[in-house]
Structure 1
């Protein structure tokens, strides 16, 4: 980082250079690189330390847990940053895709397909992937690429543990149908959609100390646009508000004991709940 700073100073001191964008042909690794995020977001890591997956940190902390900790820290710079949340979420999604994506083959074809798939040259797969990305005419593929393409048509991609994937949605449907088989058809369907814009609780989570929740009618910020800007400014507070309201709904109204994983002995407004299932968009 010091050498980069000195290089930038040297470039800036050149009167003939107004704009200089540095680049390199070799991509920077995103795995086990504690300097990555301090270099990408110097305003969030002004000392150049505190990046993810630092091998010298004891005990070790995963990227996902560390990123969540930074979003929940007292310093709200991370949650207010325009790009940090999107970049770290993209990184987490990519890693889950790398870790949980696998291939399956019909058992009747396994003995034939598995050895042939293993024997395919990785360079052929790489070239084939580039050709498909660039929408090359399949008739121009080499015989090795055509064979690899035929093999890939014999396998199915499994990514049920990757959030947001089509396979994860199918997995959720299977879970719901399993609930039907065990508990019977559900008694109640509903969409839980709380309005953070009009909630004094959200304003408190956001950090507005002027809200008096002990009052019967807490005074909200004067205009709806001001309240909406607070929601847009702090999406983490919006997520915390949704989670808080969800727990309150099931615990205080429906009488569900999250620690025990069952309904309270006294039940709730609908009596005792045997089970429930929900998914977040």
Structure 2
């Protein structure tokens, strides 16, 4: 296998060595080599990842179903036939409720409850998602409920740093406007070297936390001076692949000294000055509008050989520049129009949602307010079609992000559920699972193997899920 990567089979995986080398450690070292042959091979990464995933499933998983329940479950399963499962599957697919099922049809869900694996150490498994939720609850118990929900969307195609990770030594990263290859060349490079794309993503996120949020990445603690979001007490982040094949991250941010929802509302109602300061803080932090166009914009160098300026390919303005404020406002406006202005594309209606699943356009509100009658906190919205964002973060990173403040316990619970379920892209809904169990029964019926043992039946159902 792979004769061009391992000539004569020398240096392959799990070969006889004086010093033992695990499959995972060797794969990681091969992808980190200066020689790009492994990381740019058209199938090597996918085969290695598939082997690791299959081994994890087979070696680190077990049925949640216990042997002591076999006799009880065997008696129940005898009352479930292929026709019943098919009927339940069609009923749920048509939008029917579980409450309208008969007793015999309800037995299908007893089978469903037993079709579970304990896969805590298998990436992407449902158990991993449940563990992430448990971790979030632990963070909340230790530091309090989180206050900000951030989505980072770095796009390496436009960042000069990715070209450096790819190995291009002609890029001058100290230049305000580095000269980059043609966009099509950059896109091919990103597709050709996914390891460089992953390395760039982790480097970028670490830089954001280290130099913007004031979080010491190595020591895993906040620096004494803090960052642009004042001081963090903790954070929880998951990363995922988007439909466009790039990485982005969802982050729960816990601010040092932040109050829980009930204590916050009590203090806002009792202290008008605190109420005003709280609203001013978040109004300054999170914007739902862009600066007005300048009549005499400050000149900035172009990033390309042509005349068109591409601001997201440039470096952030230097605070030591005497015209820093003017350049910052101009970059904020240009980047905001390009990256933060909402456009309802097809992905916004994913899952058949009508209207836009992000509820754009938002209702305009000229001033931030706190409604004591409904206990709702409403931030200022001047432009109904601009995403919530922090100007300093936008201008510094040069890519899209979404920053929301979370003022209620329900919204924080929803964000915690979103960050754990959306990131794993789990399709294990009851409707889908019953449909897959139906597939198992149909195959057994075709093979005339209806009297199959209980454990084997459960295994087949689970393998259908996976």
Q: CA deviation at 1:58?
A: 2.9
Provide the C-alpha distance between the structure 1 equivalents of 2:126 and 2:150, rounded to a whole number of angstroms.
Answer: 23
- Secondary structure of the equivalent of 1:79? coil
Name the CA distance, whole Å, in 2 between partners of 1:191 and 1:58: 46
- 1:113 is aligned to 69
Match of 1:53 among 14, 35, 59: 14
Task: Confirm whether residue 232 of structure 1 aligns to residue 188 of structure 2.
Answer: no
Deviation at 1:79? 1.0
Query: Does the residue aligned with 1:189 lie in a helix, a strand or coil?
Result: strand
Within the alignment, does 1:42 sit opposite 2:7 as a pair?
Answer: no
Deviations 1:231-265 (A, max 9, x none): 01110000000010011011111111223221112
Partner Cα distance (1:58, 1:258) in 2 = 36
TM-score by length of 1: 0.67
Q: In the TM superposition, what whole-angstrom CA distance separates every residue of 1:101-130 from its partner, at most 9, and x where no partner exists? A: 12335xxxx68337x79xxxxxxxxxxxxx
Q: Report the Cα offset of residue 77 of structure 1.
A: 0.8
Aligned: 1:69 with 2:29: yes
- Structure 2 segments unaligned to the other structure (5+ residues): 73-80, 85-109, 241-466
Deviation readout 1:111-170 (Å, 9 max, x if unpaired): 8337x79xxxxxxxxxxxxxxxxxx9699xxxxxxxxxx999657421122101122112
Alpha-carbon shift at residue 184 of structure 1 (Å): 1.8
**How many residues end up aligned between the 2 structures?**
208
Q: Which has the higher contact order (CA 8 A, sep 6+)?
A: 2
Q: Output the CA distance in 2 between the equivalents of 1:180 and 1:153.
A: 29
Counterparts of 1:231 and 1:80 in 2: how far apart (Å)?
10
| Deviation string, structure 1 residues 40-64 (Cα, Å, up to 9, x no partner) | 211111232111112x323211111
Tell me the distance in 2 between the aligned counterparts of 1:98 and 1:138.
Answer: 32
The SS at the match of 1:212 is coil
Distance 1:51 1:266 in 2: 49
8 Å Cα contact 1:176/1:277 also seen in 2:
yes
- Counting only pairs closer than 5 Å after superposition, residues 40-189 of structure 1 correspond to structure 2 as 40-54=1-15, 56-105=16-65, 112-113=68-69, 154=114, 156-189=116-149
Q: Say if 1:60 and 1:111 are closer, same or farther in 2 by CA, change over 3 A.
A: closer
Distance change >3 Å, CA 81–CA 93, structure 1 → 2: same
DSSP 3-state at the match of 1:197 = helix
Tell me, yes or no, if the aligned pair for 1:255 and 1:267 is still in contact at 8 Å. yes
269 and 75 in structure 1: CA distance in 2 versus 1, 3 angstrom threshold:
same
Tell me the residue number matched to 1:244. Answer: 203
TM-score, length-scaled by structure 2:
0.42
CA–CA separation in structure 2 for the residues paired with 1:151 and 1:195:
44
Which of 141, 147, 153 is the matching residue for 1:193? 153
Higher strand share: 2
Counterpart CA distance in 2 for 1:248 and 1:174 is 28
Q: Secondary structure at the match of 2:64?
A: strand
Counterparts of 1:49 and 1:111, CA distance in 2: 46
> Is contact 1:113-1:151 (8 Å) kept?
no
For structure 1, list consecutive stretches of 5 or more residues without a partner in the other structure: 1-39, 118-135, 140-149
- Which shows bigger deviation, 42-51 or 86-95? 42-51
